[in-house]
Amino acid sequence: MDRIGAYEAKTRFSSLLEEVAKGKKVLITKRGKPVAQLVPVESRDLDETIKEILDFRRKHSLKGLSLKEMIEEGRRF
């Protein structure tokens, strides 16, 4: 994993993103101490993501509440 200072990371941000998109990991430091890490995003299959959302929906019920009622309830607090 490459290490890069925050100032240099700021000036090279576009090129760093290109490198990370290719699978490289970059540790960003400030005064020599690690503060952030750029890592590639895990790619997910769209069908798998949709299946997970539908499974979540089946397992969690609104118990008769409408979305509007939930929003109003949230505003009262």
**3: β partners:** 27
Question: In this structure, what token pair is assigned to residue 10?
Answer: 């700021």
3-state helix, strand, coil in the chain (%, to 5): 50, 20, 30
d(CA 77, CA 46): 36
pLDDT tens, position by position, 4-18: 999 999 999 999 999
Residue located via tokens 């895990």: 42
d(CA 30, CA 9): 10
Q: Is the pTM of this model over 0.85?
A: no
pLDDT tens, position by position, 20-71: 999 999 999 999 999 999 999 887 788 889 999 999 988 988 788 888 888 8
Q: Where are the domains of the chain?
A: 1-77
For the domain spanning 1-77, the CATH number is 3.40.1620.10
